[in-house]
Amino acid sequence: MSWLILYRGSLSSCNYGCDYCPFAKTKNTRAELAKDAQELEQFVAWVKSRKEKIGILFTPWGEGLIRKYYQAAMTELSHLPNVTKVTIQTNLTCSTKWMEQVNKEKFALWTTFHPTQTSIEKFAHKCQELDHLNIKYSAGFVAFKEDISILEALRQAINPAVYVWANAYKRIPNYYTKEEIERIEQVDPLFRYNTQYHASLGESCRAGNTTFSVDGDGNMTRCHFIKESIGNIYESDLSQVLKPTPCTNATCGCHIGYVHLDKLNLAATYENSILERIPKEEFWRKTN
């Protein structure tokens, strides 16, 4: 049995100040951070106790990797025999020195560049540190129309062997022209998947069966987008909880959700790097 787990604990703070984000320049109290650390420790112990093969994507509200306890937890998880992958969404502002200790076969990063918060040069410099450490990662950001040239510059600035993804701004229908989509596809050939809310009601999705979301208290939902509780990893018999169930939402528009939608067949595109968003080379490098 193999599971892919999205973990989001009670952390809710960030060192960056993106103006659209509720966590911009927010701080947790010492007590809140201690609670988050304790939750994470309990989660790591649970993973250690399981027989299943487990891949983990941390999707914190805010920035986790500036916290030493996230660094320690990820390092430990990367060395566990039943862990297939440990990865996190990060703005890459943390130091990289600690990554010397991770198991590089199983550790990877989903990095996001924030054009309003740092420069391409600084971000590319951090990417070079990852390259020197042999850490696998993807990099990208939300490609607003006015930022397409920044996306192209990011592509030029970092290692050509690293996949650069672009998220689509979807709140305004038909926001992009055909030409803009084609231009973005020169950087990210998989961009078109992200421009849509995929019809998902009644569709077969691995969320709730082989992949699920967990919060700091162990409460499970099938994915981040359907809030109905399906159990608790510390209390439930997961063999009773996890089963194939059709999606109950009308659409699924976020990469961390629709990659599990069977009809899109994206498991074949990403294989065992689905959590850190690194497609197999044949799906993106040929056009670069």
Residues that bind ligand SF4 (CB under 6 A): 14, 16-18, 21, 23-24, 62-63, 91, 114, 200, 205, 207, 222-223, 225-226, 247, 249, 252, 257-258, 260-261
For the chain, give the number of residues: 288
We find the least distance from the C-beta atom of residue 18 to ligand SF4, in angstroms, to be: 3
Nearer of residues 249 and 272 to ligand SF4, judged by Cβ:
249
Which residues lie closer than 8 Å to 131 by C-beta, 6 or more apart? 159, 162
We find the least distance from the C-beta atom of residue 16 to ligand SF4, in angstroms, to be: 4
We find the least distance from the C-beta atom of residue 75 to ligand SF4, in angstroms, to be: 22
We find the least distance from the C-beta atom of residue 6 to ligand SF4, in angstroms, to be: 10
Report the alpha-carbon distance of residue 207 to residue 271 in Å, rounded: 16
Nearer of residues 176 and 258 to ligand SF4, judged by Cβ:
258
Nearer of residues 21 and 238 to ligand SF4, judged by Cβ:
21
Report the alpha-carbon distance of residue 92 to residue 114 in Å, rounded: 10
Distance of CA 229 to the CA centre of its chain: 21
Nearer of residues 236 and 249 to ligand SF4, judged by Cβ:
249
Nearer of residues 96 and 167 to ligand SF4, judged by Cβ:
167
Nearer of residues 24 and 148 to ligand SF4, judged by Cβ:
24
Report the alpha-carbon distance of residue 285 to residue 288 in Å, rounded: 5
We find the least distance from the C-beta atom of residue 249 to ligand SF4, in angstroms, to be: 4
Nearer of residues 8 and 85 to ligand SF4, judged by Cβ:
8
We find the least distance from the C-beta atom of residue 113 to ligand SF4, in angstroms, to be: 10
We find the least distance from the C-beta atom of residue 23 to ligand SF4, in angstroms, to be: 4
Nearer of residues 101 and 245 to ligand SF4, judged by Cβ:
245
We find the least distance from the C-beta atom of residue 56 to ligand SF4, in angstroms, to be: 17
3-state secondary structure the chain: CEEEEEEECCCEECCCCCCCCCCCCCCCCHHHHHHHHHHHHHHHHHHHHCCCEEEEEECCEECCCCCHHHHHHHHHHHCCCCEEEEEEEECCCCCCHHHHHCCCCCEEEEEECCCCCCCHHHHHHHHHHHHHHCCEEEEEEECCHHHHHHHHHHHHHCCCCCCEEEECCCCCCCCCCHHHHHHHHHHCCCHHHHCCCEECCCCEECECCCEEEEECCCEEEEECCEEEEEEECCCCCHHHHCCCEECCCCEECCHHHHCCEHHHCCHHHHHHHCCCCCCCHHHCHHHC
